Amino acid sequence: MSDLDDRDRVLKAVLSSQSSLLAYAYSMLGDFVAAEDVLQNVFLIVARKYNDFEEGTSIVAWCRPMVRLEVLTYLRKRKREWSLEDHILRDAMDTAFETYPTDDTSCRLDHLRDCLGKLSQRGQALIRLRYEENAGYQEIATALEMKIEAVRKRLFRTKQQLRECVSVRMNEETT
Do 88 and 151 lie in a common domain? Answer: yes
User: Could you report the per-residue pLDDT of 54-106, keeping only the tens digit for each?
Assistant: 888 888 889 999 999 998 888 877 755 556 556 666 666 666 565 554 545 56
Domain final residue pick, 78, 97, 121: 78
Average pLDDT for residues 103-127, to the nearest whole number?
Answer: 79
- What single DSSP character describes residue 132? I
- Entry pTM: 0.47
pLDDT-derived band of residue 113, with 50, 70 and 90 as boundaries? confident
Judge residue 78's burial from the number of C-beta atoms within 10 Å of its C-beta, 0-12 exposed, 13-18 middle, 19 or more buried: exposed
Do 96 and 47 lie in a common domain? Answer: no
Cα separation, 162 vs 39, in Å, equals: 28
- Return the CATH number at 105: 1.10.10.10
Do 57 and 122 lie in a common domain? Answer: no
- Return the CATH number at 20: 1.10.1740.10
- What single DSSP character describes residue 90? H
2 conformational bin, left if phi > 0, alpha if psi -120 to 50, beta if neither: beta
